[in-house]
Structure 1
Amino acid sequence: MKRAEKCRTGDDDRLRTETITLLVTSDIHGHIHPTDYRNEGERNLGLAKLSTVIERERRRDPSLLLVDNGDLLQGTPLTYHYAKYDRTGVHPMVAALNHLRYDAAVIGNHEFNYGAEVLRRAVRDSEFPWLSANITDVDSGEPAFGKPYLIKEIDNKIKVAILGLTTHYIPNWEHPVHIKEFKFHDALEAAKVWVSYIRRTENPDVMVVSYHGGFERDLETGEATEALTGENQGYALCTAMEGIDVLLTGHQHRALTGEVNGIAVLQPNFNGQAIGKIEIVLEESKGKWSIGRKTAELLVPDNSIRADQEIISISAEQEKRTQLWLDQPIGIVTGEMNLRDPLEARIRDNPFVEFINRVQMETAAVGISNTALFTNDSPGFHEEITMRDIVSNYIYPNTLKVLRVTGQDIKDALEKSAGYFMLTGTGHLTVNPVYIEPKPQHYNYDMWEGIDYEIKVSNPIGQRLVKLDYEGCPIDMNAEFDVVMNSYRSSGGGDYEMFKGKQVVKEIQTDMTEIIADYILQRRTIHASCDHNWKVVI
């Protein structure tokens, strides 16, 4: 807390003010070192860079509060290698947060990706509490990770409450085995109960909600920016209940600051590209504190910010083992599998996408598959393939499921994917802005193998599929087909409602990166091929 200031009011009463500083990270996704693991050279991201910013802010205010808002334990080859191959010692992300003296962390949806054992061990090894008021144990009904909120007293004067919440949409994405111990309750309803309880029993001067979820509406207009599924409830938290002073958000990978209904709101980007800062000025009158002013900003590390070598050293050995693993050559490619233009790769069949689909089809022993290019940074494969190439392209720890669906389900899914495109005013093909803002969602556009189809973007959305054949004939809408897809999509993730509740014919519970690696290791040489079974036209 910053030094108190005193001033004299008109009636000669003394008015004392205190300033509280709150720093928040979110969606770090395993990034400690300033690297994206794809290319050489330092990037302006990761905890090592943010550490330098944190220590600078701590010199200004030694009593500042430091919170992580979730999605910490997954996201880089370092955290993947630790969880899957090398669980020696403390999880590298937990070790880093322990060193940085975090006050609390919130459970994010990706914390469950490697199962309950990895998550619970991380919680046990943490020198700070993990908060989530709306996740309970299935058996006991109690909060799954201990007390759902934290009370911090600043200089024995000001009481700050921090309540943790997690998007309750997790069962729509996560493998059931990973979350069978937990029950996920509506975050908004939980907030109403817990904020009221904390206000009544703890009487805090400042009520902070740290929510691993985002905003479902435009902060200024209140207009819906996505389907109101309950995945993101940030706007409702600000408008449909009372008692919150500060709302910290994440999950959407947005960089934003502002105010909604008098509540300071913040979301600090992802991968450690920024850290959020909230300053709260409190005024004392007759022995009681009240909030006078709140400001929110993002602190963005640039080339002038040096990475903290102490933080880097904490995971140096784990990082070394990870880098050796990443650079292991596992096979070679004959032909062309590079991805130079991500839009081009999404408008006509190409060898890399076909390769991923064929790996899925052979692994699941079915004749139809769909997959996506998760980001515009996917490089494809060069002549020599390493583990680095695989994790650079397949960035999520998905497994595979085979669903039994109808021809109508396939048609509906393709029409859903066809909404990814739009035409510019000059008639050129481009990406629909809803797949870019409020966060990039390229992973929600699927490409299929085992069927023949054509999408015409000049047609209205919902009427763009102009060809859909199976084995040379128009697909039978009532016939059933076994289709392999990743675990996220099979649960209806990305608003693919047609897949929800469908019969699961088969589950392959091996991570897709391992499946791809094993496939290449068994063959050593991969031949680029493409049957041009689909295309997108204007």
Structure 2
Amino acid sequence: MRQLKIYYTSDVHGYLFPTDYISDDTKPMGLLQAIQDYDKDGNTLVIDGGDIFQGSPFINYYQNRHDADNGIAAVMNAGGYDYITLGNHDFNYGFDFLTGNLSHLTAQVTAVNVLDKKTGEQLFPAQIKTLENGIKVGLIGAVTDYVNVWEKPEHIATIDIVPVFPAMQAEIDKLRGQVDVLIGIYHGGFERNLETGELLSETGENVGYQLLEMLDFDLLLTGHQHATIEGRYVHGTYTLQPPNMAQKYFEIKIDLADSGDVTITSEMRTPKLLNEPELLAKIQPLQNEIMAYLDAPIVTLENPVAPQSHLDLAQTSNAILALTAHVQKNATGADISIVSMNNNTLELPKNVKVRDVMRNYPFDNTLFVMRLTGVQLKHVIEKTAEYFALENDQMVINENWLVPKKEHYNYDFYYGLDYEIKVSNPVGERLVSLNYQGQAVTDDQTFTVALNNYRAVGGGEYNDYKIAEVVKDTGLTIQDLLIDYLQENPSLEFDEELHVKISK
């Protein structure tokens, strides 16, 4: 009997330190804490499932400065990372800059569905690792091919990201006879409920269940959905998924019997609050700089904004969302300003700092202007209306927007319109009235709309945006617009109201 041990993280999103940046409290999270728990020897692999180079205020700050000396490589190298795959957000600053970030890592990259556009060759092929005890491990990584839907074309102009399933299948056919243990590292999640097999999504964004059902992996490591999925066998393959921000990591043990049989167990662990002085000395100055930036005061408000539940907020909006709509409209002159909710609780204290803006608008999004027809506008509002459900005649949030991943950020508010949603109506028929400047919207009318880049490319299954006309990519970051506005206009007093009625 020989044994292989694995430490696995995914969707770290640049959270190195034990803080979520919403407050300056110390929490048991962050890659810097997790790696200090790793007990690595010659029969151990340390693996990450992608989305490392984008997401936290820390990493976005340094990536926007195009500073590859951002602490990520220092921490991952210190943690002994052997292999990573790429996440969809790792492409957000362009492929050339991504390769610059990767060049500082000692870890090997495997993402077999990322090809050179000119030659068609794999840029990040499958890997074989022979451990000290002689176990041969095959590792096949892949990133969700929905990068093609979300990413700016210029960021992936030199590469092709092809469908996950056939790319991984081809590599399995090559490696299965050469290795003792075969591991898939998939930056994607599950399109079906792992317990029941119930279909959750047909988009192709996540195909993890198909991989479990039809491919011959011993272990499938997943990510992307930020779900917390304890290790289990599904269709004969062991699979799991850690939550984001290095809030948890997995220690996985693989026993290889003399017969060749593979048995896998795992334990999900919480990082301890530890202190590694030498590594901290290297990267603490980076953290000090971002903390000083986040703690910079912006404005003192007469009336703080109190928190609400997501369900209440979806029906009423609040001053923070109205502010976002206002700055988007001011920057573009669009007819309609479309603002998304997010997974954080929206609130503002009396004394507003930069970190408060980041908490309320946590996305590093840019501002787009698009042209929609009346019928397209109706379709996207109907998509938003799917957020609601009725349970015992009470308004609740649709379970599909909560499991397997919380998606409050896919709920939109339409400033500049007067509209009513009736939740008891069938899905697709819930928009019962839609008016613009006092007149009913007709199908052939056209409107300019201001919205974030994620929604503009159809993110969240808002498919009408994929075929709508792009008027302008402003290149303006919505976070910066919010900060600049509050610095110049120290109040939340402006003429921007949401006219919506949500009824049972």
**What's the C-alpha RMSD, in Å, of the aligned pairs?**
1.9
Match of 1:83? 63
Are 1:356 and 2:324 an aligned pair? yes
Structure 1 residue 310: Cα displacement = 4.7
Match of 1:295? 265
SS at match of 1:114: coil
Deviation readout 1:15-57 (Å, 9 max, x if unpaired): xx011111110011111111111123222211122123213xx
Match of 2:312? 344
Q: In the alignment, is the contact (CA less than 8 A) between 1:25 and 1:274 conserved in 2?
A: yes
Match of 2:97? 118
The equivalent position to 1:269 in structure 2, one of 230, 237, 243, is 243
With over 3 angstroms needed to count, the CA separation of the structure-2 counterparts of 1:219 and 1:340, relative to structure 1, is closer
Report the AA paired with residue 36 of structure 1: D
Structure 1 residue 307: Cα displacement = 5.1
CA distance in 2, matches of 1:31, 1:502: 35
Are 1:489 and 2:455 an aligned pair? yes
More deviation, 365-374/458-467: 458-467
- Could you say which structure has the larger radius of gyration? 1
Match of 1:180? 157
Match of 1:12? none
Match of 1:397? 364
SS at match of 2:59: helix
Are 1:30 and 2:14 an aligned pair? yes
SS at match of 1:306: coil
Q: How does 1:435-450 map to 2 (within 5 A)?
A: 435-450=401-416
Q: How does 1:297-316 map to 2 (within 5 A)?
A: 297-301=267-271, 305-306=273-274, 308-316=276-284
Are 1:250 and 2:215 an aligned pair? no
Match of 1:5? none
Are 1:131 and 2:110 an aligned pair? yes
Deviation readout 1:168-206 (Å, 9 max, x if unpaired): 011211222222222110000100111112235xx0111
Match of 2:353? 386
Match of 1:14? none
CA distance in 1, matches of 2:101, 2:405: 28
Report the AA paired with residue 432 of structure 1: N
Q: TM-score, normalised by structure 1?
A: 0.89
Match of 2:296? 328
Structure 1 residue 125: Cα displacement = 0.9
SS at match of 1:74: coil
The equivalent position to 2:426 in structure 1, one of 460, 473, 492, is 460
| Consecutive unaligned residues in structure 1, runs of 5 or more | 1-16
With over 3 angstroms needed to count, the CA separation of the structure-2 counterparts of 1:262 and 1:311, relative to structure 1, is farther
Q: In the alignment, is the contact (CA less than 8 A) between 1:335 and 1:528 conserved in 2?
A: no
SS at match of 2:107: coil
Q: In the alignment, is the contact (CA less than 8 A) between 1:113 and 1:397 conserved in 2?
A: no
Match of 1:210? 185
With over 3 angstroms needed to count, the CA separation of the structure-2 counterparts of 1:532 and 1:369, relative to structure 1, is closer
CA distance in 1, matches of 2:199, 2:358: 34
Report the AA paired with residue 70 of structure 1: G
CA distance in 2, matches of 1:404, 1:529: 23
SS at match of 1:107: coil
Match of 1:225? 200
SS at match of 1:53: coil
* Number of aligned residues: 503
Q: In the alignment, is the contact (CA less than 8 A) between 2:49 and 2:223 conserved in 1?
A: yes
Structure 1 residue 334: Cα displacement = 4.4
Are 1:520 and 2:486 an aligned pair? yes
CA distance in 2, matches of 1:306, 1:222: 40
CA distance in 1, matches of 2:264, 2:156: 37
Structure 1 residue 309: Cα displacement = 4.7
Match of 1:11? none
CA distance in 1, matches of 2:2, 2:457: 49
CA distance in 1, matches of 2:333, 2:498: 21
| Consecutive unaligned residues in structure 2, runs of 5 or more | none
Match of 2:234? 260
Structure 1 residue 69: Cα displacement = 0.5
% identity of equivalent residues: 33
Q: In the alignment, is the contact (CA less than 8 A) between 1:349 and 1:534 conserved in 2?
A: no
Report the AA paired with residue 282 of structure 1: L
Match of 2:169? 192
Q: How does 1:131-170 map to 2 (within 5 A)?
A: 131-144=110-123, 147-155=124-132, 157-170=134-147
CA distance in 2, matches of 1:448, 1:493: 16
Q: In the alignment, is the contact (CA less than 8 A) between 2:111 and 2:140 conserved in 1?
A: yes
Runs ≥4 residues deviating over 6 A: none
Q: TM-score, normalised by structure 2?
A: 0.95
CA distance in 2, matches of 1:332, 1:176: 41
With over 3 angstroms needed to count, the CA separation of the structure-2 counterparts of 1:339 and 1:295, relative to structure 1, is same
CA distance in 1, matches of 2:71, 2:374: 46
Structure 1 residue 386: Cα displacement = 2.2
CA distance in 2, matches of 1:222, 1:343: 28
CA distance in 2, matches of 1:86, 1:509: 16
Structure 1 residue 305: Cα displacement = 4.8
